[in-house]
Chain A
Amino acid sequence: MSQLNSKIPAGSIAEKWSNHKAKIKVVSPANKRKLDVIVVGTGLAGASAAASLGELGYNVTAFCYQDSPRRAHSIAAQGGINAAKNYQNDNDSVYRLFYDTIKGGDYRAREANVHRLAEVSPNIIDQCVAQGVPFAREYGGLLSNRSFGGVLVSRTFYARGQTGQQLLLGAYSALNRQIHEGTVKMYTRHEMMDVVIVDGKARGVIVRDMVTGEIKRFGAHAVVLATGGYGNVFFLSTNAMGCNASASWVAYKKGAFFANPCFVQIHPTCIPVHGSQQSKLTLMSESLRNDGRVWVPKKKEDAVKLQKGEIGPNDIADEDRDFYLERRYPSYGNLVPRDVASRAAKERCDAGFGVNREGMAVFLDFKYAIQRLGRDTIAKRYGNLFQMYEKITDTDPYKEPMQIYPAIHYTMGGTWVDYNLMTTVPGLYSLGEANFSDHGANRLGASALMQGLADGYFVLPYTIGDYLGNEIMTPRIQTTLPEFEEAEKGVVAKLEKLFNIKGKTPVDHFHKRLGTIMWDHVGMSRNEAGLKQAIEEIRQLREQFYSDLLVPGELKNVNPELEKASRVADFLELGELLARDALNRKESCGGHFREESATEEGEAKRDDENFAYVSAWEYKGINEEPVLHKEELVFETIALTQRSYK
């Protein structure tokens, strides 16, 4: 029944990647020069891919919507990057990283891809060190590690609380070197509007110059999307304001299946929402759970007093504090995976134990760590995060515990890809957060940076050769082809349609309303009735959008409102698919919690018999039902068990 061929290589799990590399095509240097590759998005995955492809000798054209690749949202990742180096002698290994990632993802990721990720992870650290990334060091000069949620070893490399920044600047420097060498042509402030398919293959893109409003065509032998996740469908998230799903969405509409959209990560430690004027949420790194203890009051009357502002957290004695993660999960304690920590916080707040005015926050307390290690050590580990917290909340976390609450952070779902990271459209690839491949239903902390760089530095540069090896006789793609003409017309028509509605409501109002629907019905806890209601409400909202949207300004000038309108138009469709996928998946797993599928203790209950598959959705037209394709997940190496962090 399935049209999906995941192309998982034969052999034992540890041999698959080596076997595959031995068998795939390699393009000669002389032919690489004749092949053009487009890379859209230049965060960790895109910048590392563009740089590596340029080094290999391909002609690369890269695009980003920011004014510099250094600003991609990879830069905001704080805590670290995982790698199976076993530098700490704590019995870490490629197998253990592989196992932790499969288990952390609640057994909904593809074994072969995850093992490859673990295999190349040590190379990433070496690469970044060689580039001059200033990782934290021990006194003897060796690399330092810290722990992260969902694991029992220390395998996370870090650069203060700015690891994403430093890794991105490393990839950015490699990219800059290739721009200087002339192998990569970089276009900043350009947004991809459509992918062009010629004879069934991805052959180019249509982009909008965000300064002049001009619509431009670019052709290539292959197109790589490294355009990030779709968390902003919820409006409030830890994503940057400009993060959007439009590149993946136009690819979906051109035939690239969209996988597991309902797998969304809700991060447990974000600064709580402060009011209706809020535009985004700020993450406090998971690394803080190494030393911070999460608690709410044991007594409801204390919680009520906190909510009214009558007492502060330091007025509550230790014996009256409920360290609920340590209580419920003694073996992992405060370091349970993100989905577990988020649901536990929601459970306490829903039960009335929330600690801020809205009753939607829990404490993350450093008092005990400061007593144990001293203020200086804590400042060295988390100083910049504490400063960030104080600037936003006006509260000093050295003196008073942080208030935190879960927020939308990362999307595990994304464009379906095979083992080569190719989508269901030949010649169209998807990397990093934009694809679905490695994190299953829940991503472990410090694994997003690992995956982005694995895809860009060490996977795509090999696998793309297997496709381009068959393209060496294909001449440069001419953008005068009718397919380009038609795609450009479609883009112009979409923008003009949005611009010419001339209704009464700015785009942000629609985005906020969509976000509310998503958070209320498709958020941390989902049920059949709520999901059906969400689908209905999104459809109604979409109708209103197309009759009442107001886009000011000019089409051919800088116009952030037009950019947002185009992205929200896509979110209004993606949100429905997300809800539909959540409705179809009647089990609970990872970040996807269906109230109908819970244990007596309220933990997520997986249903391997019926749902051990990847759902890959095929677009069938604007008012048509999408078609569900199932990629059955085969676990040859790891036995499926109900996850436990107790």
Chain B
Amino acid sequence: MADQILNKIYVKVWRQNSPKAKGRFETYTVENVSQGSSFLEMIDILNDKLILDGKDPIAFDHDCREGICGMCSMYINGHAHGPDTEVTTCQLHMRKFHEGQTIVIEPWRSAAFPVIKDLMVDRSAFEKIQQAGGYVSVNTGGVPDGNTILIRQEDAEEAMDAAACIGCGACVATCKNSSAMLFVAAKVSQFAKLPQGKIEAKKRAKAMVAKMDELGFGNCTNTGACEMACPKSISIAHIARLNREYLTARFSD
């Protein structure tokens, strides 16, 4: 429990001033970091020093700092969200690192996620996929009582497993093909397990897959790397369900 102080660590980080600017790695020294601090608190300490030294601080996405908003997106020492399992970068703690270590930080790298600045990337492609069909078409009001739709507990739980996706993009960043299949599968599979989602199932699977293909994400070759990198442990079994939904939809055309 008693957290030690890291006297000195080295942070090698991707710097890129704007989408079209040329990027490069820069190495900085960070001193006096408690191992009880989160990874992003370590970046806060580094940025404070950079500002005081008259330099531009590192731009990075973050918000809730409790692993649920999906905003943080660093590729740390070759792993999306760093070396710990089932965490986002903001939940990663410095006790996973040791004295004198060099930590390499890159942005998500994917043609579909262009860099905005430093470690910030543009994930609006994910928005477009959701807008293509990630919903049940019901307006506000005029819906039946919640208990008139009976759902088996196992189905609700499985739908919840898929719905736990936070849309961070670690799956895409980790996949050698930059595939967004796990992200798309999480939404399609959630609705496939629920009676509410059945009515538009075919349309949804086709529309979301078509949008994904259009936006420059790669194909899935079943390496399973996405599941390993997913901070919410979303299973690739959902990709299998997406494939089934998609094929059923195509064959019924």
Contact = CB atoms under 8 A, between A and B. Distances in A.
Q: Do A and B bind each other?
A: yes
A176 B86 contact: no
B37 A67 contact: no
Given A87-B147, A177-B135, A392-B91, A241 B126 contact: no
B146 A508 contact: no
B189 to A, nearest CB: 11
Interface in B123-145: 123-124, 126-127, 130-141, 143-145
Contacts of B56: 552-553
B73 to A, nearest CB: 9
B37 A138 contact: no
B69 interface: yes
A131 B51 contact: no
Given A240-B64, A560-B57, 12 more contacts: A70-B167, A71-B167, A76-B69, A129-B146, A130-B138, A132-B136, A134-B163, A176-B130, A242-B63, A274-B37, A552-B51, A552-B56
A129 B150 CA distance: 10
A139 B55 CA distance: 59
Interface centre among B34, B51, B196 (most CB of A within 10 A): B51
Of listed A70, A174, A561, residue having the most chain B CB within 10 A = A70
Interface of B: 1-3, 17-18, 33-34, 36-38, 40-41, 44-45, 48, 50-52, 54-57, 59, 61-71, 84, 86-87, 91, 93, 95, 116-117, 120, 122-124, 126-127, 130-141, 143-147, 149-153, 156-157, 159-160, 163-164, 166-167, 190-191, 194, 196-197
Size range of the interface on A? 35 or more
A93 interface: no
A240 B63 contact: yes
Contacts of B44: 277, 279, 508
A165 B68 CA distance: 8
A127 B145 CA distance: 9
Nearest to B143: A130
A274 B124 CA distance: 36
Given A179-B131, A274-B36, A391-B84, A132 B57 contact: no
A98 interface: no
Contacts of A48: 140
B34 to A, nearest CB: 5
Contact of A127 (B34, B135, B143): B143
Closest 4 CB pairs of A and B: A141-B150, A173-B135, A130-B143, A129-B146
A85 B56 CA distance: 54
A134 B141 CA distance: 19
Contacts of B63: 66, 71, 73, 240-242
Nearest to B53: A552
A554 to B, nearest CB: 8
Nearest to B63: A240
B139 A55 contact: yes
A558 B144 CA distance: 46
Interface string A477-515: 000000000000000000000000000101010000000
A631 B142 CA distance: 36
Contact of A73 (B40, B52, B69): B69
A553 B57 contact: yes
Given A66-B71, A67-B123, A125-B146, A138 B153 contact: yes
A156 interface: no
Nearest to B92: A391
Given A277-B41, A552-B56, A126 B167 contact: no
B68 A506 contact: no
Given A137-B152, A506-B51, A127 B127 contact: no
A188 to B, nearest CB: 7
A527 interface: no
14 contacts: A67-B124, A71-B69, A73-B63, A127-B138, A130-B138, A131-B136, A132-B136, A137-B153, A141-B151, A166-B160, A508-B48, A552-B51, A558-B120, A561-B51
Nearest to A157: B146
Interface string A376-393: 000000000001100111
A173 B51 contact: no
B37 A275 contact: yes
Contacts of A51: 140
